[in-house]
Structures are given as C-alpha cells and as structure tokens.
Chains A and B, each alone.
Chain A
C-alpha cells in the first residue's frame, strides 16, 4: 500500500511546514497514543516480570530473572505448552482442510449458493466468548444437543461428558467452527482468480480432478494458504476467551492452554510478576512463529 503513496500538493514548501513536517504533525496523536498505550505498558510489564509480588498485588522485592528461571522449571508450563501445541495444531489443520473443502464446494454452481455462502461465513461474526457459550449448549452432558444428535442417530445410549472425553480437541473444534469462515472467504477469493481457460485446457488434456486441483488450482491458492496458516497459528496461540468460557482450564487442567496458564498465574493465584514473565515467554513464542512464517512467505515471493 505504501508504494501507492503520492504527494498531493506541490513539492516545493510554501509558508510554514514542509510536507514531511506536516505529515509528522498529522501522525503525532497516533505516536503519542502508541507511546502511552503500547510502549509504556510493555515497559511496565517488563519491569513487573523482574519483581517478586505478594498475592495481594504489591511488589515485595527485586527478583531479577528469577521469574523466568522459575517458568522454565515449572512442570505446569511444560504441560500447558503441550496442550497449546495440540490445540493450535488441531485448529490449523481443521481450519485449512475445512476451508479448502468448503471453498471448493461453494465454488461449484448450485441453487441457493449465495445464501449458503452468507450462512457459512456467519460464525465469524460471533465473538469468541459467545462461541464458547454456544458450544456450552452443544457439549453439555445434561442437555447438550450434540449428545441429542448422537442419540438420535443411534450412536450412543446415554448422554456423555463430551468435554471430559474430548478435552482440548473438542475445544479446538469449537474454535475452528468460529475460525474456518475466514479460510473459506480467503480461499474462495483466490479460487475465483483461477482463469476458466486453464481448467478447460486441463480437462482437454485429460487431467484427473485431483491433478487439476494440484497443478491448476493450488498455485493460485498459495498466498491465501500461507496467510491462513500464519493467522490461524498465531490466533490459536493467542486464544483465551474460548477456554475461559467453556472449561476454565478443566477438567483437572486438561484444557489449560498457555494463555489460560498466564491468566491463572496472574489473576487467580495473584502472582503478577510471574504472570508478566510468562506473558513475555508467550510473546517470544508468538513472534518466533510469526518470524518463521515471514521468512517462508518472503522466500516464496522471490
């Protein structure tokens, strides 16, 4: 977008400010807010991570890197990391596969296609916390409709505690329900950019459906795929509202993803310094994932 930037007025400075001074004047409010609302809180968080807090939220003493050292020997952090990886991997896999399947399906001609498209995208408009509450009704052991559906299909004889059985996997499915529309939308957009001639040519050449997908469609979807991979991975790692509203990390810590662990350490157990240190570790993890994706993306561009 920056390449399209053009100077509006004449280049030679009239009275007062030059163009670049004028631009700095315009971005000044943004810069001030950014400094006050992002840079300053980040600095506070860094300072907090170096202190020992008491459970009522007061600084006790300088603790150096103690919080970070504690974090690396905390078995709870290790368990949460594994859970977060399972959660993220499931979400990414379901989002990409479902996104591919549904967008290929919705790219076909059938009656009512435009209504179905709107309907399929709709879960994206439902906030993450509300998704959790919707799925509370679906997964409930006492009145859950998924139990009702499975029973109606004759697959189960009595209502099951779905979340206790499925733990982090069924939570990931609920998140993917909310998230997959994003993939469907991006994939549909790139599918529509495939020239019709190429398909016709491939059919004339006798290519199978799978081969047509691989050689004709997939190259056009590459960027959309990579974007969804990056977004789904980072968003899944950042996700907290769903676990918070559906299980509170339970049963017995089996759905305690890293973000929930950070929340719990800070706001339930009251260890603000430890929580701040954990959040920096989480941040480094997210930035690392983002950086890896960035390298892959830019290399593919060349």
Chain B
C-alpha cells in the first residue's frame, strides 16, 4: 500500500511540476524568480505581475502602464472573437452535414467521409504554406478573415465527424413522429432534431472554441504583430528563447491567465476532449471497440 502511495506521489509530481513551477514564478518579483537555488515557496508572494499584465496597476519603476498589457488585452479580445466565429460556423455546417451522414444513405457516402478524415491528418506546417501564399496575394495577412478561414479548414471536418457520431446515437422515434405530424424533412431537422440536441451541439462548440484558443502556429504565421493578433503569439513573444529579455514572472503570469480557460473547460469537458482524438482515419473504426473511462 505504501508503495502505491509513493508511486502516486511520483506521478502527481511529474504531472504537476511544470504547472507548479510556472504558478510559483508568476507569484514572485523578478529578482526572486531568477535566484538560485530555487525558492519553492515565494518569500513575498505578490500578484503584482498579474496586475501589470491586466493593466490594473502601473509598473513600479516607470510609473506607467505596461505596454504589453495592451497587446495582451487585444489578443484576448481577438482570440475570443475568432474562436467564437469559427466555432459557430463549424457547428452549423457540421451539424447539418453530420445529420445527413447519420440518417441518410447516398452515393459515395464513404468517399465523402474518408475525405473529411484525410483533411484531419494534414500537418499545420504543410497547410500554412499555401494559406500564407494565397493570403499574401489576396492581402489577407494580418486579418481576422485569414485566420478564420484557416481555422475553418480543420474545424468544419472535425465538427462534422463528431456530430455525425452524436446524431447516429440519437433515437429516431421523435423524428418519425414529426414526419407523421406532417413536418417535412427540413422541418424535422429544425423543429425536432436541433432543439432536441442543442446541449450536445453546444458542447462540441465549446471544444472547437478551445481548439482555436490553443492554436499557435497559423496565428504566428498569419497575424503576429498585426491588430488581429491572438493570445498564443502574444504570449509566445515573451519567451526568453527569442531576442526579448522580458522578466520570467511576466511570461509566467500571462501563461497562467491564458491557461485558465483551457484548464477549466478542459476539466469539465475532459471526456469529450479526449474522445475527439478518435477523429482520425485509422482509429475511427477501431475506436468504437473501446469503452471510455
């Protein structure tokens, strides 16, 4: 029994260590953060850096508000806007198409399904090249539109696939009843199916929101330094790997703020998020055989 607890402790340390590190540094002032050996508990814990990043308190030395606070705030607003638009559009198109796949048989259905799945295996490093070139030609670099189009390219297929599974598991009885009551197929979809499944569709929307919220590479290529810049490139520019020499607590505090939505929604929707990974041409079929924790 003791062995089990020791092992559990080790696992908890492994999982929690990087997160603890970052929260720890975010609560220190710059001098303490770079002290060696590491202080495992801040001697004078301070929320100063959180205040500065959120533009609640001015910088102690200069007396001015942090310039980065504006960047960060704009990034927050942009991230939320882009993620909402993409999630909404993807869920609408995905639920209509997913419903069609779940309920009707039609020619080349499997070919369509496979094409959806294949578009999921394209690496971002590859897709960024044509998108960058096309947007460069069209003057869409540094715009919301460019980023939204890029995100739609992988979130629509994902939404379709997940919602297909969702609709396939819904009972058809109420839909039959709707037809008998004289509703057309479109009427059944909008009056019966969508109201019935609004909860499931909404949780898919939240997952898609998180996906855009977490996306770094396309955002870096397409909107870094522009007015449309989202949170990930804004936070990433603070890293000491790059030329900038921003203080470690500044990066740590902005990371913590950024991770809160992901961690909260991630904890609530844990199972859905993990099951999302089944969306892959290879594992989609085999995945059905696995019961989920």
- Residue contact A227 to B156, C-beta cutoff 8 Å: no
Question: Which chain A residue lies CB-closest to B291?
Answer: A193
Binds B, one of A69-77, A164-172, A202-210, A280-288: A280-288
Q: How far is the CA of A227 from the CA of B15 in the complex (A)?
A: 22
**A60 in contact (CB, < 8 A):** no
- Residue contact B290 to A279, C-beta cutoff 8 Å: no
- Residue contact A124 to B273, C-beta cutoff 8 Å: yes
- Residue contact A127 to B214, C-beta cutoff 8 Å: yes
- Size of the A side of the interface (Cβ < 8 Å), in residues, is 116
Q: How far is the CA of A34 from the CA of B213 in the complex (A)?
A: 22
Q: Name A7's contact: one of B105, B152, B157, B240 (CB within 8 Å).
A: B105
Q: Is the interface of A mostly helix, strand, loop or mixed?
A: helix
- Residue contact B152 to A37, C-beta cutoff 8 Å: yes
B-facing mask of A116-149, CB < 8 A → 1, else 0?
1111111111111111111111101011010111
- Residue contact B179 to A9, C-beta cutoff 8 Å: yes
Chain B residue contacts of A181, Cβ below 8 A? 15, 274
- Residue contact A124 to B274, C-beta cutoff 8 Å: yes
Binds A, one of B33-41, B53-61, B196-204: B33-41
Q: Name B277's contact: one of A37, A108, A121, A182 (CB within 8 Å).
A: A182
User: Which residues of chain B (173-195) have a CB below 8 Å from chain A?
Assistant: 175-176, 179, 184-186, 188-189
B-facing mask of A211-252, CB < 8 A → 1, else 0?
000000000000110110011001001101100111110000
Q: How far is the CA of A185 from the CA of B97 in the complex (A)?
A: 29
Question: Which chain A residue lies CB-closest to B274?
Answer: A185
Residue contacts A-B, CB under 8 angstroms, 6 given: A1-B102, A4-B168, A112-B8, A125-B266, A193-B291, A241-B217
User: Which residues of chain A (1-58) have a CB below 8 Å from chain B?
Assistant: 1-2, 4-10, 14, 17, 19-20, 22-24, 26-27, 29-31, 33-34, 37-38, 41-42, 44-45, 48, 57
Q: Name B262's contact: one of A126, A159, A286 (CB within 8 Å).
A: A126
- Residue contact B11 to A129, C-beta cutoff 8 Å: no
Chain A residue contacts of B68, Cβ below 8 A? none
- Residue contact A9 to B188, C-beta cutoff 8 Å: yes
Chain A residue contacts of B293, Cβ below 8 A? 117, 185-186, 188-189, 192
Chain A residue contacts of B239, Cβ below 8 A? 132-133, 136, 245
Q: How far is the CA of A1 from the CA of B172 in the complex (A)?
A: 15
Taking the closest CB of chain A, its distance from the CB of B29, in whole angstroms, is 13
- Residue contact B11 to A1, C-beta cutoff 8 Å: no
Given the known interface contacts A26-B96, A192-B293, the answer about A240 and B280 at a Cβ–Cβ threshold of 8 Å is: no
Q: Is the interface of B mostly helix, strand, loop or mixed?
A: helix
- Residue contact B115 to A143, C-beta cutoff 8 Å: no
Taking the closest CB of chain B, its distance from the CB of A9, in whole angstroms, is 5
A-facing mask of B220-249, CB < 8 A → 1, else 0?
110000000000100110011110000010
A-facing mask of B125-148, CB < 8 A → 1, else 0?
111111111101000000000000
Given the known interface contacts A7-B103, A267-B132, the answer about A33 and B37 at a Cβ–Cβ threshold of 8 Å is: no
Q: How far is the CA of A152 from the CA of B17 in the complex (A)?
A: 15
Q: Name A120's contact: one of B11, B38, B176, B236 (CB within 8 Å).
A: B11
- Residue contact B113 to A2, C-beta cutoff 8 Å: yes
**B100 in contact (CB, < 8 A):** yes
Binds A, one of B19-27, B42-50, B69-77: B19-27
Q: How far is the CA of A262 from the CA of B232 in the complex (A)?
A: 21
- Size of the B side of the interface (Cβ < 8 Å), in residues, is 122
Q: Name B104's contact: one of A7, A148, A188, A293 (CB within 8 Å).
A: A7
- Residue contact B12 to A223, C-beta cutoff 8 Å: no
Q: How far is the CA of A48 from the CA of B239 in the complex (A)?
A: 33
Q: How far is the CA of A297 from the CA of B289 in the complex (A)?
A: 12
**A95 in contact (CB, < 8 A):** no
Question: Which chain A residue lies CB-closest to B242?
Answer: A248
Q: How far is the CA of A229 from the CA of B264 in the complex (A)?
A: 28
Q: How far is the CA of A283 from the CA of B282 in the complex (A)?
A: 15
Taking the closest CB of chain A, its distance from the CB of B196, in whole angstroms, is 13
Q: Name B12's contact: one of A120, A130, A136, A190 (CB within 8 Å).
A: A120
Taking the closest CB of chain B, its distance from the CB of A81, in whole angstroms, is 14
Q: How far is the CA of A24 from the CA of B107 in the complex (A)?
A: 9
Question: Of B128, B152, B242, which is in contact with the most chain A CB atoms at under 10 Å from its CB?
Answer: B128
- Residue contact A248 to B241, C-beta cutoff 8 Å: yes
- Residue contact B8 to A116, C-beta cutoff 8 Å: yes
Chain A residue contacts of B185, Cβ below 8 A? 8-9, 17, 19, 22
